[in-house]
A and B are shown apart, each in its own frame.
Chain A
Amino acid sequence: MPKLVVISAGLSQPSSTRLLADQLAAETDRLLPSEIHTVELRDVAGDITNNLLTGYPSPKLRAEIEAVTAADALIAVTPVFSASYSGLFKSFFDVLDVGVLTDKPVLMGATGGSARHSLALEYALRPLFAYLRARVVPTAVFAASEDWGAGGGNGGLASRITRAAGELAELLGSRPERSAPVEELIPFEQQLAALRAPQR
């Protein structure tokens, strides 16, 4: 069963960001049964700041980072603050080790008060995940306040969730089983020889 990790940067309780994250996860799980683990960034917010300052995670944050590292796919959802992802959301990705997201399928989502914020997904989140070399599915899901009302059910939000989850399930299902990355040791003679090779 693939390991699906859901990252929610919602701050309030209940949170529409968490609600969207849960719906994306449930739909993905329906299409491709998965082992789901949800990371509420609010619960490790102080730990993330401490990690930025000290360079190492607390045991609690380390467990979440290890879950993300071991995940076969991610669903990442943030509220839109000041025209972009929240600082907490970005800070979490800042404390991951280099290369953790390389080649990992990612479904991204965002929430905001108005649909006019929806492009934050395309000009802020997509470049972030492109930089991290993740495989982001084409459909990103934005939920504005109005989506949770009467119009959201048919055709609106629900269909976007289904389409995006379908893309993630398809990408995930078509991938061979991931094996744990092997840390490569470069023998010393080789390190030394590399220095002696003629330079262009």
Chain B
Amino acid sequence: MQFGIFTVGDLTADPLTGRPQTERERIKGTVAIALKAEEIGLDVFATGEHHNPPFVPSSPTTLLGYIAAQTERIILSTSTTLITTNDPVKIAEDFATLQQLADGRVDLMLGRGNTGPVYPWFGQDIRQGIPLAIENYALLHQLWRETNVNWQGRFRTPLQGFTAVPRPLDGVPPFVWHGSIRSPEIAEQAAYYGDGFFANHIFWPKEHFQKLIELYRTRYAHYGHGTPEQAVVGLGGQIFMRPRSQDAIREFRPYFDNSPVYRGGPSLEETMEQTPISVGSPQEIIEKTLSFRETFGDYQRQLFLMDSGGLPVKTVLEQLDILGEEVLPVLRKEFAARRADNVPAGPVHPAAAAAH
């Protein structure tokens, strides 16, 4: 089981001061958070991709390359990479470069995660979201596995005898997760290729995702990649901890109420009941996270959102310390104890290269 953090990179004003961080503070702060993630023993750091304010991460491989140079062990990933509006050729090249530089510590999560206005900025149309995700990934998949590619599709200019360089490290492309909130087509796509399926999970009740994950597991087996239990599943979560539950709630509430996602909706307490957000003592965080396994079965990767809603970097770093000291060791032990024998570990490059 792999544990990590994923960020959306929102520049939300701190409700206590009313002042947002500058872009530079946010970007450098994100690097500090990623370095801390490695220091406390997390397995994964993942960054989102957005092209509109109030978000800063529009260039994930630049950010991850900078982090790769300062880390040794942590896997660098995305949450998400926009397979709809990015050129699959450029994704193939950017991530192969990053993979070479980071000695294989790279994977990525693909998503459609765009709002309507973003598509036209990149010459696309949101109504074509699913076909774009399908065609662009089919090309990306091919570019990482074949040289001298001849290709023609609906959305991109044709390729004649094209080889994406650099080639993937050791001939093994970065592992790919497909992220989805509602679309069975994407679960089916992940199953077809035998790739991972990531259910963002945060902001929505589990019922949304139980059906998708079950579909993915069933179809993963249908396509002959293994049993349904062996399918590669990732889940999101969102946590805030203090030694005493009531302190955690009191401190986090202004940030919850200020969040662009939660603002004006149900209370923190109601949202905790219905979604994976977990605010309380380390023990409560442990119990809620373990409950995800009861809901979805054994899974391979758990990512937490910990830096959203205007929380100061200093607070996020403190949170990571608590995670590393009090939560992570217990979660590792408990998940390992519960895991069925035939369930594979989370994807890492050395294992994939050895199997290649």
Contacts and interface: CB of A to CB of B under 8 A. Distances in A.
Decide if the interface of chain B is mainly helix, strand, loop or mixed.
helix
Contact of B184 (A55, A183, A196): A183
Contacts of A55: 203-204
Given A56-B208, A185-B184, A192 B138 contact: yes
B134 interface: yes
Contacts of A194: 131
21 contacts: A50-B266, A54-B203, A54-B204, A54-B262, A54-B271, A55-B203, A55-B204, A56-B204, A56-B205, A56-B274, A185-B184, A185-B215, A186-B188, A188-B189, A192-B135, A192-B138, A195-B131, A195-B134, A195-B135, A196-B153, A199-B154
B271 to A, nearest CB: 8
A176 interface: no
Interface string A53-75: 11110110000000000000000
B192 interface: yes
A179 interface: no
B229 interface: no
Interface string A89-119: 0000000000000000000000000000000
Given A54-B265, A58-B266, A58-B270, A191 B184 contact: no
Nearest to B132: A195
Contact of A58 (B134, B208, B274): B274
A194 B264 CA distance: 42
B185 interface: yes
Contacts of B274: 56, 58-59
Contacts of A53: 263-265
A146 B134 CA distance: 61
Contacts of A196: 153
Contacts of A186: 185, 188
Interface string B166-203: 00000000000000000011001101100000000001
A149 interface: no
Nearest to A46: B266
A53 B265 CA distance: 6
A54 B270 CA distance: 12
A55 B208 CA distance: 11
Contacts of B188: 185-188, 191
B212 to A, nearest CB: 11
B211 to A, nearest CB: 9
Interface in A164-200: 183, 185-189, 191-192, 194-196, 199
Nearest to A190: B188
A196 B185 CA distance: 17
Interface in B247-281: 262-266, 270-271, 274
A83 B135 CA distance: 48
A54 B189 contact: no
B295 to A, nearest CB: 15
Contact of B154 (A185, A189, A195): A195
B6 to A, nearest CB: 19
Closest 8 CB pairs of A and B: A188-B192, A53-B265, A50-B266, A54-B265, A195-B135, A50-B265, A56-B204, A188-B188
A70 B189 CA distance: 30
A108 to B, nearest CB: 30
Interface in A16-59: 50, 53-56, 58-59
Contacts of B185: 186, 191
A131 B138 CA distance: 37
Contacts of A56: 204-205, 208, 274
A189 B205 CA distance: 31
A194 B132 CA distance: 12
B131 to A, nearest CB: 6
A200 B262 CA distance: 44
A188 B189 CA distance: 6
B128 to A, nearest CB: 10
Residue of A53, A54, A56, A194 contacting most chain B CB atoms (<10 Å): A54
